[in-house]
Every structure is written in structure tokens, then in C-alpha cells.
Amino acid sequence: MTDAVPEQLTLDLDGFEGPLDLLLSLARAQKVDLRDISILQLVEQYLGYVERARVLQLELAADYLVMAAWLAYLKSALLLPRDPEVEPDVEELAIRLQLRLERLDAMREAGARLMARDRLDRDVFRRGAPEGLHVVRKAFWSVEYYDLLAAYGQVKARTRPALHVVRDREVVTLETALARVAALLGTAIDWREIERFLPETPNPRLRRSSLASSFLAALELARQGRAELHQEAPFAPLYLRRVAS
């Protein structure tokens, strides 16, 4: 008997898809109904299989050995008196192994039944040359009212500062006023009203800005000792004159 085993064993292992597959084959050989198999007997058979492979120095894939180690543990635990402190429960492990085999077996059976059904393009056929249905798509645009308003709000928020800058450009900066007042002062010898130093503009805002910065320019020139200021009374006309150097 042992002489006949090697050849068969090698061939058999080639045919198995891993240890669970081998276990299932062994279990099926025991009984028709997987729910009635003897786990202990199954473990014995598996370990025997692996042991024979070892004796014959056949190389076994690692997962077969891992399963063997686990089954050896299960076997010893099943044989020993049950220790309630040990988790997980050995009986539970055995039932789970059995369920796994049942599930794999069920999926194999289900797969076979699926493949045996009347399959489209193999057993049943759809119409060979259907005219086909054509859908002419017509775009229908959609916007929520809120999105419309929010978009406008954001446009306004985004662009308002830009409008601001355009308006604010209508000012005369201190530097500009200083240069202008200093230059005009050079051409004048006598007292002259500050309004006469302002550039001409119909824009009242620009004129106010111009007046303010020209006044500051006059103060600055006076501080530097380049100009004299003269005013009769509060709010009276303000006069400006070059300091002769």
C-alpha cells in the first residue's frame, strides 16, 4: 500500500487549491452530509496526509503546514478535558471549521448550479440584429435662484474694491502738491492766495483734495524755511510767499 501512495499523493496535492480544499475533499469522503462529519477523524486524516508527504520528503506549501499546526493544536485540545479558562472554546473552533467547510462546499455547489443555468449567448440568445433605440438628447439647463443671487453677490464683492481704486485716484498726493507749490513759488515774488497754486479742475472732490495737500505742502515748505505764510483772521484767505534766499 505505501508503495502506491507517493505517485497518487503528489498528483492529488497538485489538484488541490490549498489546505481548505484538501480538508473539504477528505470531509466529503467521510459522509455525504458535512454537518455529520467527525472533526477529529478529519484532523487525523489531514495530519496523516501531511506526515506522509514529510516522510516522502515532498515539498509542501507553507499554508499546508500552517493548517497542520493549527489542526494539531485543535486535536490535542479536543482530546484533553475542557478547561473553561481557555479561550476560545475548542468545541466552538471545531464547529467553525465545520462551518467553513460547509460554506466553501455550498459556494462550489452554487457556482456549479449557476454555470449550469440557461445562459445568455450560450443557451438563450437576444435578438440578432435589433434596430436599436436612439435618444436625441436635448439639454435642459438648470440653476437655482439662490445660486444666481449668490453669484451676483460674489461678483459685486469681488469687483467693488476695483471701482474704489478708480474713484480714489482722484486725489492730489502730498508729493505732487509739494512739487507743484514749490515750483510755482519759484515764479512768484509777492504774496499770493493758496487757491492760485491749485491745478484747475471742474471736479470739486479733486479740488478739495488738492487744497488739503497744497496746504500741507505750504506748511512743510514753511518748516523748511523756503516759504512764508500769512492769514488775517481764521478762515480768511491764506497767502503764501517765497522766502528770498
Partner 1 sequence: MSDAYDRAVEAVLFAATEPLTRDAIRAHAGDGDVAGALDRLTVHYRGRGFELVERGGRWHFQTAADLAHLLRRGRDEIRRLSRAGIETLAIIAYHEPVTRAEIEAIRGVQTARGTLDVLMEAGWIRPAGRREVPGRPLMFTTTPEFLSHFGLKSRRDLPGVDDLRAAGLLDPVDLAFDQLAVENAGEED
Which residue among 31, 54, 82, 103 contacts partner 1 (CB under 8 A)?
103
Residues 118-137 that bind partner 1 (CB under 8 A): 118-137
CB of 152 to partner 1, least distance (A): 4
Residues 159-218 that bind partner 1 (CB under 8 A): 159-162, 164-165, 168, 173
112 touches partner 1 (CB under 8 A) = yes
- Rounded to an integer, what is the distance from CA 178 to the centroid of its chain? 58
Residues 142-161 that bind partner 1 (CB under 8 A): 142-143, 145, 147-161
d(CA 165, CA 209): 15
d(CA 69, CA 17): 18
Which residue among 86, 107, 179, 189 contacts partner 1 (CB under 8 A)?
107
Return the closest-CA partner of residue 23 out of 115, 96, 112.
Answer: 96
Site string for partner 1, 63-92 (x = CB under 8 A): x--xx--x----------------------
d(CA 114, CA 108): 10
d(CA 204, CA 206): 5
Residues 31-60 that bind partner 1 (CB under 8 A): none
86 vs 243, beta carbon nearer partner 1: 86
CB of 79 to partner 1, least distance (A): 21
- Grid cell, residue 224, equals 523748511
Q: Decide if 173 contacts 210 (C-beta within 8 A).
A: no
The radius of gyration of the chain from alpha carbons, rounded to an integer in Å, stands at 51
Q: How many residues bind partner 1 (CB under 8 A)?
A: 75
d(CA 89, CA 52): 30
19 vs 218, beta carbon nearer partner 1: 19
17 vs 190, beta carbon nearer partner 1: 17
